Amino acid sequence: MEATHKYAFFLGCIAPNRYPGIESSAIKTSRKLGIELVDLKGASCCPAPGAFGSIDLNVWYAMAARNVVLAEQMKTDIALICNGCYKSIWEVNHKLKKNKDLRDAVNEVLKEIDMEFKGTVNVYHLAELLFDPKICGVEKIRASVTNPLKGTRIAVHYGCHLLKPRKERTWVAPGIGETENPMWMEEMVAALGAEPVQYRNKMQCCGAGGGVRGYDIVHSLDITNEKMINLMEVKADALTEVCPFCQLQFDRGQIEIQEKFGVTYGLPVLHYNELLGLAQGMSPQELGLDLHGISCEPFLQKVL
Amino acid sequence: MEAKKEAPVKQEVKKQAAPAPKQAPAAATVGGKKEQPRIGVFICHCGTNIAGSIDIKEVEAYAKTIPNVAHADNYQYICSTPGQKKITDAIKEHKLTGTVVAACSPRLHEPTFRTATKEGGLNQFRFEMANIREQNSWVHMHDPEGATAKAKDAIRIAVAKASLLQDLTPKTVPVERAALVVGAGVAGMQAALDLAAAGIKTYLVEKSPSIGGRMSQLDKTFPTLDCSQCILTPKMVDVGRSPNIELMTYSDVEAVEGYIGNFDVTIRKKAHGVLTMPEAEAKGISGGGCNGCGDCEPVCPVIKPNEFEMGMKPRKAIYIYHPQVVPLLYTIDWDSCIKCGLCVTACGDKKAIDLEQKDEFVKIKVGTAILAIGFDLFPVENKKEWGYKRFENVITSLEFERLICASGPTSGHLIRPSDGETPKRVAFVLCAGSRDNTGIGKPYCSRFCCMYSLKHAHQIYEKIPGVQSYLFYMDIRSFGKMYEEFYYRIQDEGAKFIRGRVANILEDPATKNLHVYTDDTLLNRPVDMEVDLVVLASAVEPSWDTTRTRKLFGVSCSMDGWLLEAHPKLNPCGTTTAGVFLAGVCQGPKDIPDAVASAEGAASAASIPIHKGEVELEPYFAQCIEEKCAGCGMCVNLCPFTALALVEKDGRQVMEVTEAKCKGCGTCGGFCPGGAIWMNHFATPQIVAQIDAFLLGGEQ
Amino acid sequence: MARTKGYPEALDKKLRDQRYYREDSNPEFLPKVKAISRTIAHMCFQCGTCTGSCPSAPRSTYRIRQFMRRAVLGLENEALTDPDLWLCTTCYSCTDRCPRDIAPTDVIMAMRNLAFKRDIIPVNFLKTVQAIYSSGHGVPNNDVNRAAREKLGMSRDPATTHSFPEYVKGIQKILDYYKLKANSDRIVKEREG
């Protein structure tokens, strides 16, 4: 195998603690693609940018910086699998590198726990690493597929915190960055043998962020429901995303929508790493798909 | 850099001016008489502009102690009549040899005080200005002590130079009795017509194959709703007929040399591949040449989009934009032509087509030039949220103009690009790419889009019964004569105005209708407006060839990309390059009345040097000190204006300056290893005296 | 600013003075919001692009444009006591499209921070703080998940603070530095007893 790219794997909360299949598939599929994800010991909640940042941004900066410093101590760049974590970890890393006043304020706090943010590592979302031809690339993904997801129509939910706001993002991989009509994740879906499908207003938020899921759940579910209606219009077999929080909102959310709004969809929701795992021959059991709120059976019947 | 200032130069200076402040140095002159300098210093209060930060009394008292100062005075406004009188009277009374005014920037009143100096009996170039306002009191308002000390330094430096200034005479050069206008849109044509009517031979150069510019693409003009071509074609015909206008279409400015009164311009006449009738006659083809019959067109196998129709109608590789072009002459698009020769056969005996024709270079001499190089639409596909080029039924305003125009691709029927149906609900998106600080769009307002969007709403109201227009706006800028009344009329006709900037547009995949999303800020409700067609009032930007063209003429552009005028308020038609003027949108977005007015202004300004017949050049030339010149010739190639040459005099080679070409930039003077070049009014002894006065004098 | 006309309470409420007066503004509000949000909030010209982009606006009375107006005019009380302040999902669409290059989302976050200083905060946020304080995770592991992880051949707890609880102390120090835990506990107690 070619050169391995090594990253400290920042897990966040929802993936390891609610959808562990995302964690294990990320590790296994990445290994097949020349990406090694190693433990980032002692990492915590990123902290959730909406829930935490709303209370006190100073604490948000400090806690995110602490997570970054753990990787600095390992002298290893970070890879993560969640848009929310991306906002916290990447953006705080980026802002502290650029702004001395923020950096000094954060280091005042980190001094209390014998840590110092130095700005020596980079942060990446695993999806951009997979897309970047310098690290992996769509062709390599395609080549690693042993069980193509042929005959399935898969819609993509990009989420919000990965790409937006465009002016506060810098990308190393070419072709990422557009926020109005990106198509790069569809390319990654097509590489798995599936048919990526477009649907109305695909860039809309899932509704969970900013603490809204906790504050006013039916408000967040109404936003989710709007997307569900658009997804059903194009008869998607599954929805894929790269954010466990969006996954939670769409997956458990469909159950809540059924309870509260009386509508049933039954649309399987899978993180891209889970899809990639399936396409690389991992079994549904290995992926922990039985932990999903919405059964993945209808989708699995098409691909297995 | 230091190597250029070698020993010979410094020694020369030391002989001529003593550095010690207590001695009174003799004035160094070349060929002038030695005299004891007696400098008058006049310090201006400029109301509180200067006096508010600088202690005038203290500065005046200091000035009196500077060596060579024979008189010092102060006044509220020295540029006023009594102020100037102080200068002229003081020169006579105190037998001054030079004057220093410490006031505003020389850009404002250098001419004023030079005139006052002249009226006092001195040569006007014996005057030196110290800027203690823009470069001092205005920027050091919070440091009066520092400002006062700096003013003292500035005056001391100015006095040192004034002590060494010489009599100089401006050089008068004749002005070529011809003018150049670049760009034949309505502004360029108007300027050319005015110059021609004033009896001046005018070259009108246009890069596209026909004249008329953007105005000829419009259907109607606001607020009169005149048919645009109807009011433009009389001007186009006049341009074609005027004996004083030499029209060169399908031509670019290739090179510009010279200076005001004497521009040598090279024009590239691009090869049409088609001969005009005179050209054919000259080649011996009697009765031949292109008569616009169009026989060549049907046989050409290559189809391309017609740029005049914004790509919505096809043309062939051999083409005219439309049958009413001026001049009526076909053009071959060499990038697309496959040289099959079918057109040559079709042309027959007229033998008008020459597939081997090459670009021709023509050299012309003009006294002044006007740039009227117009604008393009900003590439609004870069604002991805509005879906231009992604969604078929989102079009730009110019595309709308062509569709609604009776001579356009659909004979004036507004249709939806996706299915050819007539739209019943049309959204007009204002400020599409203007007033945008994101770095993608333009930060400025494009000025005429509010008005043409109102016009568009009217046009569809007139043509499509039952149609509903929605104008999504932030402001309605109906600033001109009868413009607000026009807004009233359009609202009266039933157009709906929604005050909200369009956030994004999404397409219904089945119907290809568009959903326009915004906030109705007046109703305080978010809006999802489904429409059949969206027209984006795109921002405008300088035309694509502007950078190349303006650099040829030495014209700068301002921060927003438009061409820089000499002064935004007091000189909007001139540039900082003498003899070059601006007309029309290239200076900044403007509507047709303002474009025509600016063209008339530019033509008037451009005609003045020509009518006077001569122009005075400031005498800042280089001069060769022939005794010192070794004839090495190294300076000749350094001159950016090719003003220097080696000539033979008295059996040896020395350098000679063509004063009319010399701009006094100092490149040669700074370089000459023998110190043999004297820069008039900025001579080395004068500059060194300034430096010495600053470093060695003062109250340290 | 509550202005009373001295009428009986119901009439005073019905007929209260609706006008905006300069006294209604707190001139400190805008600078505070700008400092926390690090965006040029004062440059908002109310174009409406933000509300036009917002997923929450069509299904509630939440109007980000109106919150921007309140920031510019210094209407601190109105802004911080409006329950709609908590309906922003932080999707950043408004920030992405704002033509004045402002980040309205960050203005909301700044206002939320300022509201918290007045103890205005929905309780779900405080529960997140408490969870992080005790475990390091906003969504902590549970036994159902531990069993699932084991079945997948993974460690029962991830390599985070769950497996390395000694790191939780550091997190607690950070939270205590800003008195976040103490304040959260206090408010939760006041609300829930």
**Can you give the three-state secondary structure of B171-212, one letter per residue?**
EEEECCCEEEEECCCHHHHHHHHHHHHCCCEEEEECCCCCCC
Q: Six-digit token pair at A168? A: 């506060």
Is B519 within 8 Å of C45 when comparing Cβ atoms?
no
Q: Which residues in chain A (198-217) have CB-CB distances under 8 A to chain B? A: 198, 200-201
Q: Which residue of A21, A53, A165 is in closest CB contact with C103?
A: A165
- Which of C137, C143, C169, C183 has the most A C-beta neighbours within 10 Å, making it the best mutation to test the interface with A? C137
Contact A200 B390 (CB under 8 A): no
Residue B698 above 90 pLDDT? no
Query: What pLDDT is stored for residue B258 in this prediction?
Result: 87
Question: Model confidence at B34, in pLDDT bands (50, 70, 90)?
Answer: low
Which residue from A167, A178, A201 is facing B506, i.e. has the nearest CB?
A: A201
Chains in contact with B, where contact means 3 or more Cβ–Cβ distances below 8 Å, are A, C
Counting residues of chain B whose pLDDT is more than 90, the rounded percentage is 90
Report d(CA B184, CA A222) in Å as an integer: 58
What's the confidence (pLDDT) of residue B640? 84
Question: In chain A, positions 160-199, which contact chain C (CB-CB < 8 Å)?
Answer: 160-161, 164-167, 179
The pLDDT tens digits of the residues spanning B302-314 come to 999 999 999 999 9
Whether the Cβ atoms of residue B266 and residue B220 lie closer than 8 Å to each other: no
Is it the case that residue B73 has pLDDT exceeding 80? yes
Model pLDDT for residues B359-384, shown as the tens digit of each residue: 999 999 999 999 999 999 999 999 99
Per-residue pLDDT tens over the stretch A148-190: 999 999 999 999 999 999 999 999 899 999 999 999 999 999 9
Judged against a pLDDT cut of 80, whether residue B18 lies above it is answered with no
For the record, the structure tokens of C60 come out as 């509630």
C174 → closest Cβ in A13, A63, A216: A63
Q: How confident is the model at residue B642 (pLDDT cuts 50, 70, 90)?
A: confident
Angstroms from B385 CA to nearest CA on chain A: 6
pLDDT tier for residue B1 given thresholds of 50, 70 and 90: very low
Across B500-513, average pLDDT: 98
B431 band by pLDDT with thresholds 50, 70 and 90: very high
A237 with A298: CB under 8 angstroms? yes
The sign one gets for the Cα dihedral B303, B304, B310, B312 is: positive
Report how far apart, in Å, the C-alpha atoms of B429 and of each of B288, B497, B532 are.
51, 11, 13
pTM value? 0.90
DSSP state of B28: P
CB contact under 8 A, B524 and C63: yes
Question: In the prediction, which pLDDT does B697 show?
Answer: 79
At B21, the pLDDT band (50, 70, 90 cuts) reads very low
A295 close to B (CB below 8 A): no
Which amino acid, one-letter code, is at B303? Answer: I
Determine how many CB atoms are found less than 10 A away from the CB of residue B335. Answer: 7
Report the residue of B437, B440, B502, B506 to disrupt the A interface, i.e. the one with the largest count of A CBs within 10 Å.
B506
Please give the pLDDT value at position C2: 61
Nearest alpha-carbon partner for A208 in A279, A269, A282: A269
Tell me the backbone φ, ψ of residue B421, rounded to 5 degrees: -80, 155
Give Cβ neighbours of residue B142 (< 8 Å, ≥ 6 apart).
Answer: none
> What integer best gives the mean pLDDT of chain B?
93
ipTM value = 0.95
**Of the candidates B308, B300, B250, which has an alpha carbon nearest to the alpha carbon of residue B275?**
B250
pLDDT digits (tens, 9 = 90+) for A251-268: 999 999 999 999 999 999
Task: Say yes or no for a CB contact (<8 Å) between B384 and A181.
Answer: yes
Residues from B in contact with A at Cβ < 8 Å:
384-385, 387, 390, 438-439, 504, 506, 508-509
Average pLDDT over residues A226-240: 98
pLDDT in tens, B513-540: 999 999 999 999 999 999 999 999 999 9
**pLDDT value at C65 more than 70:** yes
List all residues of chain C from 95 to 124 with a beta carbon under 8 Å from chain A: 95-96, 101, 103, 105, 108-110, 112-113, 116, 121-122, 124
Give yes or no for residue A58 having a pLDDT over 60: yes
Chain C partners within 8 Å of A90 (Cβ): none
Q: Average pLDDT of B237-244?
A: 95
Is the pLDDT at B31 greater than 80, yes or no? Answer: no
Q: Tell me which residue in A20, A39, A285 faces C149 most closely, judged by beta carbons.
A: A20
Beta carbons of A282 and A271 less than 8 angstroms apart: no
| pLDDT for residue B10 | 31
Average pLDDT over residues B169-190: 96
- Picking from C33, C59, C85, C91 by the largest number of A CB atoms within 10 A of its own CB, the best residue to mutate is C91
Whether residues B503 and C58 touch (CB distance < 8 A) is answered with: no
Find all residues with CB under 8 Å of C180, minimum gap 6, and list them.
Answer: A55, A56, A59, C129, C133
Q: Residue B245 in contact with residue B196, Cβ under 8 Å?
A: yes
What pLDDT is recorded for position B576? Answer: 87
In eight-state DSSP terms, residue A91 is I
Name chain A contacts of C36, Cβ cutoff 8 Å: 57
Spatial separation of the C-alpha atoms in residues A212 and A199, rounded to whole Å: 24
pLDDT for residue B151 is more than 70: yes
**Residue B33: predicted pLDDT:** 56
Cβ–Cβ of B509/A200 closer than 8 Å? yes
**Three-state SS for B514?**
strand
* CA–CA separation, B578 and B589 (whole Å): 23
- B128 touches B161 (CB < 8 A): yes
Q: Which residues of C touch A288 (CB under 8 A)?
A: 148, 151-152
pLDDT tier at B14, thresholds 50, 70, 90: very low
CB B457 within 8 A of CB B496: no
Indicate yes or no: CB of C89 within 8 angstroms of CB of A209: yes
Contact state of B502 with C52 under an 8 Å Cβ cutoff: yes
Instruction: Say if residues B414 and B422 touch (Cβ distance below 8 Å).
Output: yes
